[in-house]
Chain A
Amino acid sequence: MRIMFNGIQKISFLLGFSLISVSAFSQSTADEIAKYREMIADGNPSELYEMTGEELWKKPSGPKNASLETCDLGLGPGVVDGAAARLPKYFKDTSRVQDLESRLMTCMQTIQGISSQSVIDAKFGEGPKKDMDALVAYIVTRSKGQKVNVSINHPKEKAMYEMGKKAFNFQGGPYDFSCASCHSVPGRRIRLQDLPNLTTQEGAIAGWGFWPAYRVSSGQFWTMQQRINDCLRQQRFPYPIYGSDFTIAVSMFMARNANGGVIQTPGLKR
């Protein structure tokens, strides 16, 4: 009996030890990243994008030589503060639910005469998409510290959320992956990369609340559109069209799930 007890004790000790070592290991990795964030928090390179974005917002340009200062991001023409916290939302003039990037494309098209197609066709980080990155950095910074406050009161908003839920669970491609394959259970990792569970408020704000972000590994500022694009690349899907309803639906799903969480954008990511 005593021997058996010792055996159980030993097993539980070993089990406990292995659990501790695994969690200590991932804990220390997370700590290192947190430390790194703290180190450069005072100088997030996104600030350069924000400054450029503010200039672009105020400077007349495009075929119509107009500034974006009359652009309605949802809180009225020219209101930037807190606008990103409420996106995606339904816009009456376009009769669509739009995220920040697709809304900015509408404003660039109607106010400045810059064709949306030229933005869609540009490569990430180049041409009109480079301007878009800067504008997004400027606008999301003006919601930093605010709570996500996304509505699904309008039938089209509700429908977009439901589309997003379906899109999130849609499996396809040669790997059978969906967003849910990686992002619907807490505590999961690919290699050492933590994967937020986007179906809960806590997980959704960890994702939605930190993107757009400056990526240290690539030295680039990434908007949410680019973040989703690269997820789908690794999902082995075909190419998601910039500002398409799929990208907005998935954004709506994440944003609404994150409601009430505090926005930290632009974030700083690996």
Chain B
Amino acid sequence: MAELFRHQALRDNFMKFMLNYFSIKKIIFLLILEFFVLEGICLGQQLPSQKEFNEMMNKSFRAEGIAGMDRIDQDPTQKLCSDQKFLLSKAGANKAKELEQQNMKSIQQPSDGIYIGDWKSGEAIAQSGRGATWTDSPQTVIGGGCYNCHEINKKELSYGNIGPSLWNYGKNRGYSKEVITYTWNRINNSKAYNICSNMPRFGHFKLLNEKQIQDVMALLLDPNSPVNQ
């Protein structure tokens, strides 16, 4: 009985407080506000929800050859970088930092401790843009596709410009341990340094194996590579 009384008293106090707090003006203001919020939701219904978008994606694609439907199942990095608006927010910036660290942690240093392989083989890997499409077989050797986006050896005139020029890469930066480790990491997982870097994560998605990455490293960082002449 005492408990019930206490509840009632609490409720009365609460109602009194609410009535004081919400003067008529405030109630009208809130009603107007609510109208706009509801209106916004109604207008917002024209905009597709994430659920509708996902449904569209799943209905619009099918697996073909080696290109399975898992390829449109985004990982957190891809999800973040598909949403420019969120990325530019404070929460987005924090998320970016967190994911950069995760990408950094996943990088493996060479198992044999060797960073620099054969630049000639590296040049061939840099030239090839093949592999990983639905017209390729699982045996197709995936290329680095480096010239698609970078100038590397100046002798190759057909190069893209999405990434920076890598001509004289080692000559300009030096061949220090720092430069070597940074370059190894960048090729393995560029997102460790810049979450929405346009460069594929060659190590992370096993696009290139360790030996191939060592060879591409040599193209950039062997003092005898034509890139450093």
Enumerate chain A interface residues (CB-CB to B < 8 A): 25, 155, 158-159, 162-163, 166-167, 169-178, 181-182, 187-193, 233-234, 236-241, 244-247, 249
Q: Quick one: closest A residue to B65, CB to CB?
A: A239
Q: Are B133 and A236 in contact (CB under 8 A)?
A: yes
Q: Which of B2-10, B24-32, B77-85, B220-228 contacts A (4 or more CB under 8 A)?
A: B77-85
Complex: A189 Cα to B159 Cα, angstroms? 8
Q: Are A240 and B61 in contact (CB under 8 A)?
A: yes
Q: Are B46 and A159 in contact (CB under 8 A)?
A: yes
Q: Are A166 and B157 in contact (CB under 8 A)?
A: no
The minimal Cβ–Cβ distance linking B166 to chain A, given in whole angstroms, is 15
Complex: A116 Cα to B132 Cα, angstroms? 30
Which B residues lie within 8 Å of A170 (CB)?
Answer: 57, 72, 74, 82
Complex: A159 Cα to B200 Cα, angstroms? 31
Q: Are A189 and B160 in contact (CB under 8 A)?
A: yes
Complex: A234 Cα to B148 Cα, angstroms? 12
Q: Are A159 and B201 in contact (CB under 8 A)?
A: no
Contact pick for A245, options B56, B134, B149, B160, CB 8 Å: B56
Contact pick for B159, options A182, A187, A191, CB 8 Å: A191
Q: Are B133 and A233 in contact (CB under 8 A)?
A: yes
The yes or no answer to B140 lying at the interface (CB within 8 A) is no
Which A residues lie within 8 Å of B59 (CB)?
Answer: 241, 244-245
Complex: A214 Cα to B60 Cα, angstroms? 26
Given known contacts A182-B162, A233-B133, A233-B135, A169 and B57 CB-to-CB distance under 8 angstroms: no
B119-141 CB contact bits vs A (8 Å, 1 = yes)?
00000000000001111000000
Report the count of interface residues on B (CB-CB < 8 A).
46
The yes or no answer to B91 lying at the interface (CB within 8 A) is no
Residues of chain B in range 33-82 having any CB-CB distance to chain A below 8 Å: 46-48, 52-53, 56-57, 59-64, 67-69, 71-74, 77-79, 81-82
The minimal Cβ–Cβ distance linking B202 to chain A, given in whole angstroms, is 9
The yes or no answer to B229 lying at the interface (CB within 8 A) is no
Which A residues lie within 8 Å of B147 (CB)?
Answer: 191
Contact pick for B78, options A171, A182, A233, CB 8 Å: A171
B75-105 CB contact bits vs A (8 Å, 1 = yes)?
0011101111000000000000000000000
Contacts A188-B162, A241-B61 aside, 16 further interface pairs with beta carbons under 8 A come to: A25-B157, A159-B46, A167-B57, A170-B57, A173-B71, A175-B205, A176-B191, A178-B81, A188-B161, A190-B160, A191-B147, A191-B148, A237-B67, A238-B64, A239-B62, A246-B57
Which A residues lie within 8 Å of B46 (CB)?
Answer: 155, 158-159, 162
Which B residues lie within 8 Å of A240 (CB)?
Answer: 60-61
Cβ contacts A to B, 5 pairs, < 8 Å: A174-B71, A181-B198, A190-B162, A238-B62, A238-B134
Q: Are A171 and B74 in contact (CB under 8 A)?
A: yes
Which B residues lie within 8 Å of A173 (CB)?
Answer: 67, 71-72, 132
Complex: A176 Cα to B60 Cα, angstroms? 19
Q: Quick one: closest B residue to A247, CB to CB?
A: B60
Which A residues lie within 8 Å of B48 (CB)?
Answer: 159, 162-163, 166
Contact pick for A171, options B64, B68, B81, B162, CB 8 Å: B81
Q: Are B132 and A236 in contact (CB under 8 A)?
A: yes
Residues of chain B in range 195-210 having any CB-CB distance to chain A below 8 Å: 198, 200-201, 205, 207
The yes or no answer to B158 lying at the interface (CB within 8 A) is yes
Complex: A176 Cα to B57 Cα, angstroms? 16
Q: Quick one: closest B residue to A193, CB to CB?
A: B160
Complex: A184 Cα to B220 Cα, angstroms? 28
Contact pick for B53, options A166, A174, A244, CB 8 Å: A166
Contact pick for B60, options A158, A236, A241, CB 8 Å: A241
Shortest 4 CB-CB contacts between residues of A and residues of B: A246-B60, A239-B64, A244-B60, A171-B78
Contact pick for A237, options B52, B72, B160, B191, CB 8 Å: B72
Which B residues lie within 8 Å of A239 (CB)?
Answer: 61-64, 67, 134
The minimal Cβ–Cβ distance linking B39 to chain A, given in whole angstroms, is 15
Complex: A187 Cα to B161 Cα, angstroms? 8
Q: Are A191 and B205 in contact (CB under 8 A)?
A: no
Q: Are A176 and B78 in contact (CB under 8 A)?
A: yes
Contact pick for A191, options B57, B72, B160, B207, CB 8 Å: B160
The minimal Cβ–Cβ distance linking B229 to chain A, given in whole angstroms, is 17
The minimal Cβ–Cβ distance linking B100 to chain A, given in whole angstroms, is 14
Complex: A191 Cα to B79 Cα, angstroms? 28
Complex: A192 Cα to B78 Cα, angstroms? 27
